[in-house]
A and B are shown apart, each in its own frame.
Chain A
Amino acid sequence: MHIPDGYLSPQTYVPLMGVFVVTAAVAVKKVKKEMSIKHIPYLGMAAAFSFIIMMFNLPVPGGTTGHAVGAAAIAIILGPWSAVLSVSVALIIQALIFGDGGITAIGANCFNIGVFMPFVAYYLFKLLRFKSHRPGRIFFASFTAGYLSLVLTAILTAAQFGIQPMIATSPEGIPLYCPYGLNIAVPAMAIEHLLIFGIVEGLVTAMIVRYFIKNESGLVYVFKKGGKNE
């Protein structure tokens, strides 16, 4: 899901970089408002967690690999804006130091994995939990939030790959960047995330959320309303 250099055309990665920069500026303001000094170590550890979990490449037997991201759990526990900050830092370090994800695609990758995914996860969790504190309901809501947010992020990424042959071809009609269209990219990335990687993200999310609710529920962002605990 880390788009490398060369797969997106400038008319795709430049606007996405713009959107990400604006979102990051908003995230800075929101984190300043919502978080206090006691959250700083959690933000750092959340970013490190996301970095590490993305190293666990999981196989589609005989096919491709993929991984969980951890962004859903971070969004539920520390809030979507904190997730934007921490996951984006992890993604930028991955691109700069380890060549995982392109430099030109930093905006796209941070937007997809660092912005879109945590917000989808956060609102899915809120919607599905529906103010319930029953452990079963919370498990279901956090699993589904993790599962679907990763799948939808994969589809968004696939759409960015898949529109390339439509918007960037040589005069002879040969693709200049990603050569696969939507008809190939979307099913390929959707299916692998639906069947394998999404389930792992869902389980990771459910287990982590459960642990924090049990041990430090005062920290859990999604339970707070106007600064007060529910």
Chain B
Amino acid sequence: MFLRREVKMNKLQKRILVFLIILVLLTPAGIFLPMVFNAGDAWGEWSAETLEQTIGYVPEGLKKNSETYSAPIPDYTLNEKDESTTRQSLYYIVSGILGAAITLGATMLISKLIIRK
């Protein structure tokens, strides 16, 4: 990988990487804690359907714009309908690894293009 070839990791960087890997494996806490404490969406991040249930209508502009784009892996899950919590946790970890790796790669690539010294 392009990350490896030019940049040799020092001890601190290796430690940070291990820390990030552990962190990503713990992300299912982000599913379990809300479940245990019966908490729902973040404020202002409701779907059009949820909003309709709360206020009785879907604002017109919101309805139109909320379908602007559909992401390839919505809500960090590979299968929204899967009801198994175990599998949802796995999907969450997979999404986390994928997203964090892409974010890491993209940021390093951009930084490499920017930084010259």
CA distance A91 to B98 in the complex (A): 14
- B107, closest chain A residue (CB): A47
- A1, closest chain B residue (CB): B42
Say which one of A122-130, A143-151, A174-182 lies at the interface with B: A174-182
SS of B interface (majority): helix
Inter-chain contact B38/A62, CB cutoff 8 Å: yes
Residues of B within 8 A of A55 (CB): 27, 30, 76, 92, 95-96
Interface string of A138-166 (1 = CB under 8 A from B): 00000000000000000001100100000
Chain B residues with CB under 8 Å of chain A are: 3, 7, 9, 12-13, 16-17, 20, 23-24, 26-27, 29-31, 33-34, 36-45, 48, 51, 55, 57, 59-76, 92, 95-96, 98-108, 110-112, 114-117
Given A43-B111, A58-B33, also A177-B43 (CB < 8 A): no
Residue A85 at the chain B interface, CB threshold 8 Å = yes
Inter-chain contact A40/B115, CB cutoff 8 Å: yes
Closest approach, in angstroms, between the C-beta of A29 and any C-beta of chain B? 9
Residues of B within 8 A of A46 (CB): 107
Residue A35 at the chain B interface, CB threshold 8 Å = yes
Given A3-B44, A37-B117, also A98-B61 (CB < 8 A): no
CA distance A174 to B74 in the complex (A): 30
Interface residues on A, range: 35 or more
Inter-chain contact B115/A93, CB cutoff 8 Å: no
- B9, closest chain A residue (CB): A41
Residue A26 at the chain B interface, CB threshold 8 Å = no
CA distance A98 to B37 in the complex (A): 24
Closest approach, in angstroms, between the C-beta of A84 and any C-beta of chain B? 12
Chain A residues with CB under 8 Å of chain B are: 1-7, 9, 28, 31-32, 35-37, 39-53, 55-67, 85-86, 89-90, 93-100, 102-104, 157-158, 161, 168, 170, 174-180, 185, 188-189, 192, 215-216
Inter-chain contact A98/B71, CB cutoff 8 Å: yes
Inter-chain contact A97/B99, CB cutoff 8 Å: yes
Inter-chain contact B37/A62, CB cutoff 8 Å: yes
Q: Among B68, B74, B106, which residue has its beta carbon within 8 angstroms of that of A89?
A: B106
Most central of B26, B59, B105, B107 by chain A CB within 10 Å: B107
Inter-chain contact B39/A32, CB cutoff 8 Å: no
Inter-chain contact B59/A32, CB cutoff 8 Å: no
Q: Among B26, B40, B44, B69, which residue has its beta carbon within 8 angstroms of that of A157?
A: B44
- B63, closest chain A residue (CB): A6
User: What 10 pairs across the A-B complex have the smallest Cβ distances?
Assistant: A99-B71, A59-B39, A6-B66, A176-B61, A59-B37, A44-B108, A6-B62, A47-B107, A6-B65, A57-B30
Closest approach, in angstroms, between the C-beta of B91 and any C-beta of chain A? 11
Residues of A within 8 A of B63 (CB): 6
CA distance A99 to B65 in the complex (A): 13
Inter-chain contact A188/B111, CB cutoff 8 Å: no
Residues of B within 8 A of A102 (CB): 65-66, 68-69
Closest approach, in angstroms, between the C-beta of B45 and any C-beta of chain A? 6
Inter-chain contact B99/A51, CB cutoff 8 Å: yes
CA distance A102 to B14 in the complex (A): 34
Given A6-B62, A51-B100, A97-B99, also A45-B20 (CB < 8 A): yes
Inter-chain contact B16/A179, CB cutoff 8 Å: no
Given A44-B108, A59-B33, A66-B43, also A9-B61 (CB < 8 A): yes
